[in-house]
A and B are shown apart, each in its own frame.
Chain A
Amino acid sequence: MGSLERVVVVGASAAGVTTAETLRREGYTGGLVLVGDEKVLPYDRPPLSKQVLAGTWEPEKTVLRPDSAYAGHGIELRLGSAATGLDLARRTIALSTGEEIGYDGLVIATGTTARTLPFGHDLKGVHVLRTVDDAVALRGDLLRSASVVVVGAGFLGSEAAASARRLGLDVTLVDPLPLPLVRPFGDEVGTAIAGLHEEEGVRLRLGTGVTALHGEGAVTGVGLSDGTVLPADVVLVAIGARPATGWLDGSGLPVDDGVVCDATCRAADGVYAAGDVARWFNPHFGGLMRVEHRMNATEQGMAAARNLLGAQVPFAPAPYFWTDQFDARIQAYGVFPAEAEMVVAHGGVAERKFVAHYLADGRVVGVLGWNMARQLRADRQLVRSAA
């Protein structure tokens, strides 16, 4: 493509902000617009379920960059305006404000939106947790309440359950799967996480689905698949997220559980994607991959920006991610397929201080550390060298 005069980045969270900054860092001097649907300055999401919910951080501490940094980089911020449509032929984006803006280069970083249950979200006291406004609203309700039911024992749900427990609430964690975080980490780590939550006083209702949310006006209980009803002043629904691609419907851009991209994060001529919304071909693993983790937002934002400027470098990372729950800091690097064999390489699971290797076809494809950060960092090279 020819020289770029105007780049639009849609999505003003970690991936979008990193993309815009990297474009400048790499010497791009043309027009640069960063579009975000939320009204507040771009902020960081991992602390929302942890420090912000627990109240150890004011929400303002999550802001990614001061307002002045955008002007300083010549980045035009369009906050409070959602993208509503894309015209690939005319190279324009429609905004919820009614405006239409043109681009030579486009980076899509619209992230994900929280999945919801097919019922009950109209009741007061029922929450999802994706945005800083969500976190502030949930915390406000928790501080006025005695009991919370968290639906979903993945990363977000188990972290939020821990934070709510620390606030002194009666907490029940419900999931249709038999263990928390069993899908990413397997039985042994899932069992250890379950044990930690039980020790800390979280009630677990695992292997149990949710069939109804009860209440009139405000939620009072959660109906379970075994017929029981858990009383609840507050309910957090943390059942995953879906890529925010609705605005691309009918655009002709390939969308299939995310914006489908090649190895350079390119989705169409002059169009790239980064962060939670991007499903790209990762040559390191030889398949399409979509990663909803913080580190990927930064790394893929950098990669998409450089490739938009012509670098043509495949984006081939091994994912890195972490979770903090009570006194456990669990860090992971690589991939964790269900069929992988887990081997404890350092420390012990019972001591809650260990590094485990996950092997598939005799190769280390993932390493996981529980309160053993330095060793985990050292063992990351096993994932790299095995590729």
Chain B
Amino acid sequence: MKVRIDVDACVGAGQCVLAAPDVFDQRDEDGMVVLLLETPPPALEAAAEHAALLCPALAIAVDR
């Protein structure tokens, strides 16, 4: 799995960090998404996919 983020679309909701804290973080200054793992291990794939589904700004894409 490969994860892509669109910081321009991100609204800093933090849903992704709540769903997959090992894959995503937020910048301190403005809360924008930070991608920690571009290719998450299999154990984290479901969480990363859930994060993409929950993102209210469609700022996360996962390619399998």
Mark A residues whose CB is within 8 Å of B.
18, 21, 44, 46-47, 61, 64, 294-295, 298-299, 302, 320, 322, 324, 329, 331, 371-374, 376-377, 380
Contacts and interface: CB of A to CB of B under 8 A. Distances in A.
A46 B12 contact: no
Given A295-B13, A322-B11, A331-B13, A374 B56 contact: no
Chain B: interface secondary structure? loop
- Pick the 9 closest A-B CB pairs, nearest first: A373-B31, A377-B14, A373-B12, A295-B56, A294-B56, A374-B26, A322-B11, A374-B31, A373-B26
Contacts of A295: 13, 15, 54, 56
B30 A377 contact: no
Nearest to B12: A373
Contacts of A299: 54
A90 B43 CA distance: 46
A302 B57 CA distance: 16
B3 interface: no
A331 B12 contact: yes
B4 to A, nearest CB: 15
A329 B54 contact: no
Given A295-B56, A298-B54, A322 B28 contact: no
Contact of A373 (B9, B30, B54, B57): B30
B57 to A, nearest CB: 7
Given A298-B54, A298-B56, A376-B14, 5 more contacts: A46-B56, A64-B58, A329-B30, A331-B13, A377-B17
B11 to A, nearest CB: 6
Contacts of A324: 11
B1 interface: no
B53 interface: yes
Contacts of A298: 53-54, 56
Task: Using C-beta atoms within 8 Å of the partner chain, give the interface range for chain B.
Answer: 10 to 19
Contacts of A377: 14, 17-18, 26, 31
Contacts of B9: 47, 61
B53 A329 contact: no
Nearest to A372: B31
Contacts of A46: 11, 56-57
A322 B26 contact: no
Nearest to B17: A377
Most chain A beta carbons < 10 A, residue from B9, B13, B28: B13
A164 to B, nearest CB: 20
Contacts of B58: 44, 64
Given A298-B53, A298-B54, A320 B13 contact: yes
A230 B53 CA distance: 45
B54 A322 contact: no
A371 B30 contact: yes
Interface string B3-42: 0000001011111011000000011101110000000000
13 contacts: A44-B58, A295-B13, A295-B15, A324-B11, A329-B31, A371-B30, A373-B12, A373-B13, A373-B14, A373-B32, A374-B31, A376-B14, A377-B26
Contacts of B56: 46, 294-295, 298, 320, 322
Contacts of B26: 373-374, 377
Contacts of A331: 12-13, 31
Contacts of A64: 58
A373 B26 CA distance: 8
Contacts of B54: 295, 298-299
A374 B56 CA distance: 16
